[in-house]
Amino acid sequence: MASKDAAREVGQVRDNEGPIGFLGRIPLRHLIFLLLLGSGLIPLVAASLFLTRRNIDLFETQEQTFLTRSAESLSEEIGTDLATLEREIRQLGEGFLALPGPESTVERLRLPGVDRYFGNFMLDNEGRLLQMQVLGLDGEGPSLGAGDTDAQVRKALREVFAEAKKTSRTTFRFVRRASDNEPLAVTAVPIFTPQATGEARTSPPDLILQGVARLDVLQRVGSREARGDVAVFLIDSDGRVLWERGADDDTARSLASSRLVEDFRRRPEILASEYTLLLHGKKVRMLGRVSPVEKTGWGVVVQKPLSAAYVAVQQLIYTTVVASLLLVVLSGLFAGFAAGRFSAPFTRLTATTHAIAAGRFGDRVEVSGPGREVVELAGDFNRMSGHVQGYVEQLQAAAQANRELFIGSIRAFAAAVDAKDPYTRGHSERVAAYSRTIAKTLGQSEEFQYRIWIAGVLHDVGKIGIEDRILKKGGVLTADEYEQMKLHPQIGEEILKPLEPLKEMLPAIRWHHEAWNGRGYPDGLKGEQIPLIARIVAVADTFDAITTNRPYQKAYGHTYAVETITKLTGARFDAKVVTAFLRAFQQGAIRMEAREDGDSQEQLPATA
C-alpha cells in the first residue's frame, strides 16, 4: 500500500510540473539520431547543391558554347567556299578584260577564242561548276556548261544579274535543282577593268560573270554536324529555310516563325536564343544559335532540343541525387547505430527511474556505457536508489504501524459504542464486513472498499451521545425518545468531522438512515442524492438489525431479512445495491450462523 502511495505521489509531482516543450516529448535516441543525421546531411546537402549548381552552369555554358562554335564554323566554312568561288570568277573576268583587244566589251565577247578561254576554267572546275555565263550589261554573251537548266535556276540567274548590275556587288541565290533536289549556289560577279579606280567602281561594271555551282560544302557540314538531336538549317535574309539536315519539314516550318529567326531578320549577326517550337501539336523548348554567311545574307542555324542539350545536366542531377540518397542512407545507418549506442544507458536509466517511481525501489541501473560520465552517473544513481529504498522501507514500516494504530483506534472506538448496548455488541464490525462485501460485488475499487469498511465500523458512533436509558429501553420508544435517537447520525458526523482522514466516510455516517423515496432522516435526501457509500451501509445495517437480538425484538432468520430488504427496494433502498446484496448472499459471501442462545441467529461476516 505504501509503495502505491509513493508511486501516486511521484505521478502527482509529474502532473504538477510545468508544460513540457516539443523537444521534451521526443525520445533522447531520436534527438541524438536527428542531430547526428543533421550534422552530416546539412553540409552534404549544401555542398551538393552548390557543386551541382556550378556544374549545371558549366554544362549549360559548354553546350551553348558548342552550338555557337558549331554555327560559326559552319557559316565560316560555307562563306569561305563561296568566297573562293567568287575570287576565282573575279580573277577570270579581270584576266579576260586585261587581254589585248578592243576596248568595247561587246566586241571583246565576239572575238574568237572566248569560249575556249572560259571553257578551260569550266574544265578545271568540272565537278563543282555546272554552268557559266559571260554577259555584257545588255545581258548578251556566251553561256557554257549545261544548257538544260530548270526554271528555278534560270529565274535565279536573271535575278542575280539584275541585282549585280544595279548594285555592282557580287550576288548569291540558293536554289534546289528540280531533277534531284541538289542544293546549288547561283552567283553573279561584277567585273571592272583592272585600271578602274575605287571611285570608278561606283559606276556600272564592264562585265558580269555568272556561275551555277554545287554546294557540296552543305553536304559535308550537314553530315558532320547534324548528328543525334542536332539539326542544321540554312536560312535567307527573309527568314525562309533554304536547306535543312537532321530535321523534318514540320520543324523547318516552325523554325521560320521562331524568335531566333525573327531576331536574325532584324539583325543579321551571331545570335543565341532559347525558344519554343510547335512540333506535331506539342510545344518543344529549343536551344539555337545562328551565324551569318558573309556576303550572302544567309544564316546557318544549329538547333537542339533543350532536353537533349542539357541531358548531361539531367544525368548530373540524377547522379547527384542517387549519390546523395546513398550517403543519406549510410548517414542514417551510422546515426541510428550511434544514437542507439549513446542513448542506451539513458534509456536504461529512464526505465529504472520509472520502475522506482512505480514503487520497485530495489531496481538498479546496469553500470555500463560509453563515457566515464555515464558510468559515474549510473553508479551514483544506484547509490541514491539504495538510500531511497531504505528510507521508503522505513516509511512503509511507519505507515503500516500508523495504519494498524488507526484501525485499532477505530475498532476500540466502535467497541466502546457497542459496549453501551450489550444487545448490539459486534454490530459495527458486522455492518462494516457486509458493506465491504456489497461494494466488492458492485465492482468498486479496493480503496472504496477500505473506506466503506471504516464507515461501517463508525456508522453508529453518534450513539455515544444518546442517553443509556434510550439505548437500553426494552419497549417501544416514545416520540420524544425517537427524535432523540434520530440525532445519532448528526452527532456522529460532528464527532468525526475534525478528523481529516475520516472526511470521505462522513456521508455514510450522516446519511445511512436516508431512504430512496426521500422519507428518511436526518435530511430527507432522495434517490441519487444519497451517496453510494451511505446507500450500501443502509442495506448492511438493516440486514444486521433484523438478524440480531435487540431489546425490543428477537432476531429473525436470514430468509425473513432478505425478503424484508427485497420488499423495501425502491422505497427505502437502492435497487442496484439490493441486487448486489442478493447476489453476494446467494454466492455465500454473506453467511448466517447460529447464535449461542440457540433460539436466534447472529450474523457473522465472511468473504468468499
Residues 135, 250, single domain; the answer is no
Structural domains counted in the chain: 3
For 8-53, the pLDDT digits (tens) are: 544 444 444 445 555 556 676 666 667 766 766 677 666 666 556 6
Residue ranges of alpha helices (H) inside 179-273 are 216-225, 249-256, 259-266
Do 453 and 574 reside in the same domain of the chain? Answer: yes
Residues 431 and 570 in one domain: yes
C-alpha 426/C-alpha 302 separation (Å) is: 116
Q: Collapse the DSSP code of 243 into the 3-class scheme (helix H, G, I; strand E, B; otherwise coil) and give the result.
A: strand
Are 248 and 283 contained in the same domain?
A: yes
Tell me whether residue 161 is in a domain.
yes
pTM (two decimals): 0.48
Cell of 352: 529504472
Please check whether residue 376 lies inside any domain of the structure. Answer: no
Render pLDDT for 207-233 as a digit per residue (tens, 0 to 9): 999 999 998 888 787 777 777 788 899
577 inside domain: yes
Residue 293 lies in a domain: yes
On whether both 230 and 210 belong to a single domain, the answer is no
Q: Is residue 404 part of a domain?
A: no
Q: Which of 214, 248, 275 is the last residue of a domain?
A: 214
Cell of 44: 552534404
**Quick one: 116 and 259 in the same domain?**
no
From CA 500, how far away is CA 495, in angstroms rounded?
12
Rounded to whole angstroms, the Cα distance separating 98 from 575 reads: 143
**Which residues are within 8 A (CB) of 261 and not within 5 positions of it... i.e. 6 or more apart?**
235, 239, 255, 290, 301
Q: Containing domain of residue 117, as a range? A: 99-214
Looking at the fold, whether 599 and 501 belong to one and the same domain comes out as: yes
Tell me the per-residue pLDDT of 100-149, one tens digit each, with 9 for 90 and over.
Answer: 888 888 888 888 888 888 888 888 888 889 899 999 888 888 888 876 66
Are residues 231 and 210 located together in one domain of the fold?
A: no
User: Collapsing DSSP states into helix, strand and coil, what is residue 217?
Assistant: helix
What percent of the chain has pLDDT above 90? Answer: 26
Q: Is residue 209 within 8 Å of 196, Cβ to Cβ?
A: no
44 part of a folded domain: no
Residues 476 and 586 in one domain: yes
Q: By three-state DSSP, how is residue 171 classified?
A: strand
User: CA 43, 49, 51, 54: dihedral to nearest 10 degrees?
Assistant: -150
CATH code: domain of residue 559: 1.10.3210.10
Q: Is residue 52 part of a domain?
A: no
Domain termination site, one of 262, 286, 309 = 309
Distance CA 543, CA 590 (A): 11
Q: How far apart are CA 133 and CA 435, in angstroms?
A: 136
Query: Tens of pLDDT along 442-455?
Result: 999 999 999 999 99
Residue 84 belongs to a domain: no
The residue written with cell numbers 512503509 in the block is 396
If you search the block for the grid coordinates 547505430, which residue do you land on? Answer: 337
Same domain, 256 and 203: no
CATH at residue 152: 3.30.450.20
* β-pair partners for 310: none
Q: Give yes or no for a contact between 302 and 72, defined as CB atoms under 8 angstroms apart.
A: no
State the pairing for strand pair 271-279/143-145: unpaired
Q: Burial level of 143, CB count in 10 A (0-12/13-18/19+)? A: middle
